[in-house]
Each structure stands twice: as structure tokens, then as C-alpha cells.
Structure 1
């Protein structure tokens, strides 16, 4: 496993070594772009060269590709960068200084304002695509996403109260947090399940207000590993900062907490 991690890091660093590839990633921070859009952004190189750069980024798992009709959309997948950060930076930083933007925190910062519409909320949508490679069989990853979710999903809506998370992997099943006396929160409801290949859900995902989310886990076998593909589409009254907050939140939840739990049994501190 150590040799595999070294190979992955080598591929990541190689992909980051070229300035055009770094510029492509900087562009994708603001949202997905078609291959044609990226080609226009770099008129100094040929379309073939841009495709080669995209191929290198895809092989390093730094971008994910989704197709809408004949259009190829390129999404930033920052999970490998998060793994580099966790390995060489995160462990040496003070925990308070290293607090990440979480799903709950980003929502609370916005919904606590007196007038949502006057403070930046607008009718909008965002889409997040991520891929995480986990060194474990697909069945084990699926079990962690469902039966074991209370062990690694660190974000809670209960505040100071101790809560429990449960996930029912069936159509109509609930992803729910409870903290006693009939109190709790519904994170989502399962709309499609095909164990151990795919789960689709709808719900607020910890947000409040006139907003909804649809999110999908797809699990694909890759040798002895599992590639977990996340698609998250949110729509409604949305703060412009929510996309970045959720993108980071998913990176931490799936790329760190879930991955470490499945591979080593480690739980979030």
C-alpha cells in the first residue's frame, strides 16, 4: 500500500509540474468548463496540447470528466491535493488554526443574517464532482457509507448535544441524525439504491431554507481498490460561498474521514 501511495503522489506532482496544467486547475476552481472553453483560454497552444494536458490531469485524478450530450465537461477534483495537505501540512498545524469550512458552518454563517436576499442569497445552483480512490473492496466501502456512517461522518447539526447518525440503504430510507427527546435532523432520503454500486439521495444535506440537494455515490471496482464518485447538485436560494464550502466539506468527509476509516479503521478526532 505504501508503494501505491508513493506512485499516486508521483503522478500528482508530475501533473502539477507544468504551468498550463496549474492554470487549468485554477480555472476549474470557479466551476466546470468544457474542453472547448479551456482550449480558447490557451490560444498559445494547440487543441491537441490542451487535450494532452487534460489527459495528464485526469490520470492524476485531479479532474473528473462528465459528458452532457456531445459536450465534455471538466471538473476540478481537489481530493489528491487534500491528501498532500493532510500528509505534510495538516498534522503540524494547530487544530484551531486549521479548522476547515464545514457544511454546517457555511450554512449557519448565511442563514443567521436578518435578511437573506439582501445579504447575497440568490436563486442559483451549483454542481460538485469528485472522485476518491480507496484501497479496499467495494463492499467494504459501501458498508461504511451506509451501516457505519456514524463512525466517520464528523459533521453534526446537534450543536453541543451528542448525536447518532443512521443510514437506511433502501428506497425511501432516511439518512438521519438524532439526539434524543424526538429531536433530530433529516439529512436526506434515498431515491435509488443498487448495492454495492450506487446510491442516490435527495434532501437538505444540512442546509436550511429554500434549497435542495441531489447527491449520488457511485462505486466502481479498480483492481483491489474502489473508486468512489460523488455528484452533488444543489439548487434554490444559495449563497455564492456555499459551493466552495461544500466542495471542501466533501473533500474532508470522503477524501479524509471515510478513506482513513475504511483503510485503517481510524475515526475522526
Structure 2
């Protein structure tokens, strides 16, 4: 059982098992796309899991599929959890699952633009500020890099003097189609208490327009609305910017904007 405990001690390997639990029989490429690491790194972790008997691989045509094998974990359960303790363990496990439930919010909007222009509006600091309440989001948008949003600095001050309003890591970067980011809101004590969630931007061309789907997930069940409640305004502002060149001027949409409404592009 030492191999099983060693395999389970690593958070990345546990994540791989979680992915196979959600969808069994995945290829190396599919698993690689779900983790912020190289193909070689995923292969090394899969090898450890296979040696421990937690993952079984099978060839199907030209593909190699990976399957979760829960037997070693069940053997551990049977060895240390007696039939008398099992109801208590099950109840506590159910309680833990209930407390750790997550929720997701999905927003979809059609914008008359190209994928390249939409990607630019999402990743270019000056354009993004025009529909994200004036916040300046800075990042080089490479996998594993950091992104942070701050209010614009007034005259005589530097950007570093301004508080960070939101931050995170770029987990997947596939221009101009897909951007996955971890997200931590810092604009209030209530927002900070929610911890880190995830935001996925998915761009799909549809005729002469694009369908943009934003998924905000990995939030706890019952998370405060201020964590995700601004998305309709953000996406409406993005659509307004790209289709008209103007700023959205609804209440709150210019919260950090130093100047009033103006033509932008």
C-alpha cells in the first residue's frame, strides 16, 4: 500500500484522479489540457498512478485511454474502517461534500466582431479597462503567468501605489479561442473571504459574429453575489465597445474610470 499512499500524496495526481472520476477513459492529450503543466509532466504523474494500480491504461485503435481503478482505495477503506464505524464515516463524508459543494455561473453573449478583435479586447489593458469599470488589468497572458487589476493611478502617483482589486493566474491561454484564469476578488472583505475561483472565456465564430461564453465556476455553493454579479454589465460593456466604439454608462460601469464617457475605438 506504500505505492498507493505515495501516489495519493501529490495534489496533481489527485487532480488527475478527479478528472478520471468525472470522465473515465481519457487520452493523455485530454488530461494534459485540463492541467497547467507540460505533457511530459502529466506522463510522469500518470506513470506513478499506474504503478500504484490507481490508473489502468488500455489501447483503443491508435489511442491510449486511461481509466480510474478505485480498488486500491477501497482496500484501504476496508482495512481501517470497521463496519461499525462506516455509518459515521459516511455521514461525515456526506457533510464534508455538502459544505464543499461548488457552483458555477455561465454567461453567453453574441458580439458582431472577429475572434482576433474580441481576444484583443479581452487581453489589451487599455481596451479591457473600458468595460471593466475602469480597472487596469495587467498580464503577459502566457500559461502560468499572473494577472492583476488595479484602479488607474492619479497624476503624480505610480501604478504600484494603487490597491490590487483582483488577481489570479492564467491557467490556459489559446488565442484567439480560449482563456482560463484563476480569479481572486480583493475589493471587499466579503469578496476576499470567498477565496479563489475560476473564469473561462470561450470564443466561437458564428458567421460574421462571435459567441462569447464566460463560465465562472469553482465558487462555493451560496457564494456572495458581488463575486459574480457584475458579469452582465461587463459583457454588455464589451459588446457596446466592440460594436459601437462607445462606453457603457449604466450606474457602476464607470466606477474606477477617471474620465467620463468617451469614444474609445
Q: Which of the five TM-score ranges fits, normalised by the shorter chain?
A: 0.3 to 0.5
Which of the pair is proportionally richer in strand? 1
Tell me: higher relative CO, structure 1 or 2? Use CA pairs within 8 A at least 6 residues apart. 1
Larger Rg: 2
TM-score by length of 1: 0.46
